[in-house]
Amino acid sequence: MTPRGFPAFPPGRARRPRTWWGTAWNRAWEADALDARPLRAGRRLAAAGHVGAITVSPGRLAAAVHDGDTEQAYATRVRVATLADDDWDRLAGEVAARAGHQAALLAGQLPRDLAEVTGVPLLPGLGEVAPECDCPEWDHPCRHAAALCHQVSWLLDTDPALLLLVRGRDARTLVPTAAHHDDVPAPATATVRAAEAGTAAAEAYARTVAPLPPPPAPVPGAPTLPLLPPGPDVDVDALRAAVAVAAGRAAALLKRP
């Protein structure tokens, strides 16, 4: 299985995972912590953008993490126990028997009851997450490993298949390739496969960001909307335009015979 690489997150606000599996991942590795202080320090490093490009591979997470000086970055790794072949067989059998589980995985969702029905622990348990770092700290985990684990929860939010990868298998082990690609035209299929394989961090970082498409035009006859109050980090004009388009389309649908 090919490791997947992800470019470094830019500095920003401290964030919590939004999905149940991202939250469960944080609970899993934090359960082994001996002290809460490195966890908080790691959260600050993650928010400050001090974690480099992240590589996710079976049983291993890796990144260079620094304390503010990029010339003094530490090689940080987190070893994660992989699942046994029997566990993967049980998961694959359950997914094959339930179309809903296949649909959820294809949609980038991780069914909560998949682990409950099969008894296979998708999330690592106590002692199954082993942080490693060449920094001089003795904490377990150190703040650098904690920062890496925090950012991995952000990646998991958008791609739970990474949890399956770090536990030992590609997501296609559970969802047959045919289920992914049978109805996809050949050029699009290549694009999907390339996306699933991941992109080298340096290549992704060097790419030019494509411009956003123009916003949809308002629907004629859309209802008049009330003024929207301003809020922090909210583009009121853009929000109002989006609401107007949605309201107009809804009104047009209601008028259909």
Give per-10-residue mean pLDDT for the chain (257 aa). 90 88 94 92 96 96 95 95 93 88 86 87 92 94 96 94 92 63 39 49 67 68 64 70 75 70
Give the per-residue pLDDT at 185.
39
pLDDT value at residue 179: 38
Which pLDDT belongs to residue 74?
97
- Residue 181 is encoded by which pair of tokens? 């690609």
Q: How far apart are CA 85 and CA 169, in angstroms?
A: 10
CA–CA separation, 2 and 161 (whole Å): 13
Structure tokens at 138: 């003795």
Provide the residue ranges of all domains of the chain, joining segments of one domain with +.
4-206, 214-257
pLDDT at residue 199, as a whole number: 63
pLDDT of amino acid 113: 86
Q: What pLDDT was estimated at residue 240?
A: 73
Predicted pLDDT at 222: 59
Question: How many Å apart are CA 189 and CA 250, to the nearest integer?
Answer: 34
Question: According to the model, what pLDDT value does residue 215 have?
Answer: 66
The pLDDT, as a whole number, for residue 175 is 80
